[in-house]
Structure 1
Amino acid sequence: MKHTQSSLKIGIVLSSIPGYSETFFRNKIKGLQSNGLDVTLYVDTFSEVPQNLSCKVVSAPSLGNGFISKTIASCVAAVKCICLHPKRSLKHYNLDKADGLPFKHRIKNLLLNQYLLNQNLDWLHFGYGMLANSRENVAEAIGCKMAVSFRGFDLYLSPLKHKNCYKVLFSKKVKYHVLSEKMKHTLIANHISEQRIHVITPAIDINLFASGDYTTKAKENLEILCISRLHWVKGLNYVLEALAILKSDNIDFKFTIIGDGEERERLVFAAYQLGILEDVTFAGKLSQTEVLKALKQSNLYIQYSIQEGFGNAALEAQALGLPCVVSDADGLQQNVLHEKTGLVVPKRNPKALARAILELHSLDSEKKQHMADFAIQRVRNEFNIEKQTALFLEFYSN
């Protein structure tokens, strides 16, 4: 039974419940619910549901670790497939067979996806591309529409790590959501019809990041901030090299990185070898309140990623009127407007980055204020939650 738009049932599939920094999903869920849509979150790994997440959460059953527990869990899943939703299970099996999957893979997919096969939805929306892997036929099996979001890493890097990972997905009738025009053109290059691709950028709570008490007062020292997971794709090693260039030119600065990740030790050592460790603070993960405070205490924001779907933190910085220097990676070119809300420079080029930092810092107060005002107004007009919600309502309308 299909529903009117105000009562559409939307199932969003994620690997886990959105963390504190994954505001995109939280904002989306909240916006859809406020417009009367019924949203259920399906996760592979269950954790405690935070108080500010109001939707229903369904977790995939564990198939166990040891041989005996795996065997028991698999038998239970098989019984559910046969007894609870036999028609859907058979349809899923046959669809996988039509895709040329080996018998073993068909059975495995059936057992892994059985918790989804009894759901009654209008849309099954996979929050990342790789989450649709081995689940390409679930939506058709349960009689609903299928959507997939690509957020950057999954579109550009996952196919390098998992060859042909989207071969089956790209053959299906799927509606795609991407964060930027650059990502849209990447899908088109993979022979996806333009009509099936919708660009919906991230959005921020503009009231939380209102410019308020932030001013563009000139500071003698550079107070530079980056909010990023410590991963090689974020290009932080190039940022450190650029800052080493500034230090060699006797430019005083303080650089703070908010975030944590697998590259922390390597980056700390790189800062030490470059002679700038005393000028760099690895702040780790901070609360939203602490992040906001750090943004207001800075006078320049950097996002120098090698690959970036869009970059919420750069939007937050612009919402406060903070000048931004970003790389030309993917969605960052759409996020920051070159010479209007900041500077966009070629990635992997520490010398160009160092020049851009100096150029922005050297702007006179009038030009800085003009850039800040333009950035604030643009974020408020183009990247607010209300606009994002309206676009997702339109996305699910047909």
Structure 2
Amino acid sequence: MRIGLVLPAVPGYSETFFSNKIKGLEANGYTVILFVNSCNRKTKTSTKTKVAPKLSGNMVRIGMISFYRLSYSLIFHFKVSRRLFILDRDDGINFIQRIKNIIINNHIFSEPVDWLHFGFGTMVLNRENVAKAIGAKMAVSFRGFDIGIYPVKHPGCYKRLWEKVDKIHVISNDISELVYKQGFNNQVPIIKITPAIDIRFFKNNHKTEYNKIPHFITVARLHWKKGLDYTLEALALLKEENIPFHYTIIGDGPQEEYLKFGTHQLGLNDYVTFTGKLSHELVKKKLEQADIYLQYSIQEGFCNSVLEAQAIGLLCVVSDAEGLSENVLHNKTGWVVPLRQPKLLLEKIRNIINLPQTEKDTISQNAKERVKLEFNIKKQQKEFVGFYENN
């Protein structure tokens, strides 16, 4: 079986979800072809990769590339180009966009595949007919942003997709519910395959020893959806109660200045450390030095960092945003707090600090065992093989 995987770029070092999926499929005899918008030469892959035409920059250059790609498609892939043009026309897509669709999907036409799988929901927009045009089945993966945020700004954006998709992949039950809320009523299956982590790497065999001064940690992109401002508000309240602590935030992103200024305004400069982006090895080291992991997101598809923290043995506190309440089982493998309520987060953190050591150890052990059993790479790879084989 041949699987065409449509992604923004070749998966990088940190994008383990896709790289592990590709390795698992290839190990089971599948042929995987990557269709990407860009390809960083520093990102190495042995998987066959086809790059989309770059239609940006100088207008003359864009015109020349477009003319070449369109001519090439009409000469060497006339049947596929004609089929896509007609399918798009029947959907009411205007003439200019139909021509654009032939040009931007030109790199896909030459590769016969059984499945064309769009790795993100937003990547399929205006390309809903490409799979049928090349004679393949279409699969689409939905994560947090694709279905939780993008449709808020673009209502009804997936209406055309719902009528054409053959199988949908989601990473949590809450994401599945959002798919239905966006108007999906087809009978094709929605399959949940959660993220997975390298449990051999994120492993801590040593008995957990808690710091005398509680050390909190978060690994996240500095983005509004991560709810870090609410986390800082809760910790400012903890400071007012004269409870000592330290908080480490690992990551970078567009809200770095906003969050650092908020830290200053809340009087937390001596309590909070921003490390920036770190390697996996350094992230693991920082996790091993911490006590409690905080992921108080406003919106979150699932979050690998929470899985990694649980595998290390940290006590995890998360919000109830989308997949986080599946990632952490409340009062069993960690704690789930309603989002946007820093006072409730404060109460939970205070309660955890005061828990007896035996209760902390039980929660920590439960989390480690569940991650090892439910969120390992081999299990995920087996599920993706079944995703394409099972009707």
**TM-score, normalising length: structure 1:** 0.95
Q: Which residue of 2 aligns with 1:33?
A: 26
Kindly indicate whether the alpha-carbon contact (under 8 Å) linking 2:319 and 2:337 is maintained by their aligned counterparts in 1.
yes
Q: Which residue of 1 aligns with 2:368?
A: 376
Deviation at 1:28, TM superposition (A): 1.1
Deviation at 1:182, TM superposition (A): 1.1
Kindly indicate whether the alpha-carbon contact (under 8 Å) linking 2:115 and 2:137 is maintained by their aligned counterparts in 1.
yes
Q: Which residue of 2 aligns with 1:362?
A: 354
Q: Distance in 2 between matches of 1:49 and 1:192?
A: 42
Q: Which has the larger displacement, 361-370 or 291-300?
A: 361-370
Please list the CA deviations of residues 113-135 of structure 1 after superposition, one character each: whole Å capped at 9, or x if unmatched.
11112211111111100001111
Q: Which has the larger displacement, 70-79 or 58-67?
A: 58-67
Q: Which residue of 1 aligns with 2:195?
A: 202
Amino acid in the other structure paired with 1:386? K
Kindly indicate whether the alpha-carbon contact (under 8 Å) linking 2:166 and 2:188 is maintained by their aligned counterparts in 1.
no
Please list the CA deviations of residues 21-74 of structure 1 after superposition, one character each: whole Å capped at 9, or x if unmatched.
2211111111112212111221112212534x4322221122342221111111
Amino acid in the other structure paired with 1:76? Y
Please list the CA deviations of residues 216-255 of structure 1 after superposition, one character each: whole Å capped at 9, or x if unmatched.
2232111111010000011000000001001111111111
1:87-106 matches, within 5 Å, as: 87-106=79-98
Q: Which residue of 2 aligns with 1:352?
A: 344
The yes-or-no answer on 1:278 pairing with 2:297 is no
| CA 1:194–1:185: 2 relative to 1, 3 Å | farther
The yes-or-no answer on 1:50 pairing with 2:43 is yes
Please list the CA deviations of residues 277-318 of structure 1 after superposition, one character each: whole Å capped at 9, or x if unmatched.
221111111001001101100000011110100010001111
Q: Which residue of 2 aligns with 1:306?
A: 298
The yes-or-no answer on 1:338 pairing with 2:327 is no
In structure 2, runs of 5+ residues without a counterpart are none
RMSD (CA atoms) = 1.3
Q: 3-state DSSP class of the match of 2:159?
A: coil
Kindly indicate whether the alpha-carbon contact (under 8 Å) linking 1:211 and 1:376 is maintained by their aligned counterparts in 2.
no
Deviation at 1:384, TM superposition (A): 0.6
Amino acid in the other structure paired with 2:260? V
Q: 3-state DSSP class of the match of 2:270?
A: helix
Q: Which has the larger displacement, 299-308 or 55-64?
A: 55-64
**TM-score, normalising length: structure 2:** 0.97
1:1-398 matches, within 5 Å, as: 8-51=1-44, 53-189=45-181, 190-193=183-186, 195-213=188-206, 215-397=207-389, 398=391
Amino acid in the other structure paired with 2:141? S
Please list the CA deviations of residues 96-129 of structure 1 after superposition, one character each: whole Å capped at 9, or x if unmatched.
0111111111111111111112211111111100
Deviation at 1:195, TM superposition (A): 4.5
Kindly indicate whether the alpha-carbon contact (under 8 Å) linking 2:34 and 2:50 is maintained by their aligned counterparts in 1.
yes
Deviation at 1:209, TM superposition (A): 1.2
Amino acid in the other structure paired with 1:68? V
In structure 1, runs of 5+ residues without a counterpart are 1-7
Q: Distance in 1 between matches of 2:118 and 2:163?
A: 16
Q: 3-state DSSP class of the match of 2:230?
A: helix
| CA 1:194–1:320: 2 relative to 1, 3 Å | farther
Q: Which has the larger displacement, 85-94 or 183-192?
A: 183-192
Q: Which has the larger displacement, 159-168 or 8-17?
A: 159-168
Q: Distance in 2 between matches of 1:311 and 1:66?
A: 39
How many equivalent residue pairs?
A: 389
Kindly indicate whether the alpha-carbon contact (under 8 Å) linking 1:216 and 1:365 is maintained by their aligned counterparts in 2.
no
Amino acid in the other structure paired with 1:182? D
Give every structure 1 segment of 4 or more consecutive aligned residues whose post-TM-superposition deviation is greater than 3 Å: 192-195
Q: Which residue of 2 aligns with 1:3?
A: none
Amino acid in the other structure paired with 1:220? K
Q: Which has the larger displacement, 231-240 or 276-285?
A: 276-285
Please list the CA deviations of residues 334-374 of structure 1 after superposition, one character each: whole Å capped at 9, or x if unmatched.
00000111110000011111111111222111111111111
Q: Distance in 2 between matches of 1:19 and 1:305?
A: 24
Kindly indicate whether the alpha-carbon contact (under 8 Å) linking 1:217 and 1:365 is maintained by their aligned counterparts in 2.
no
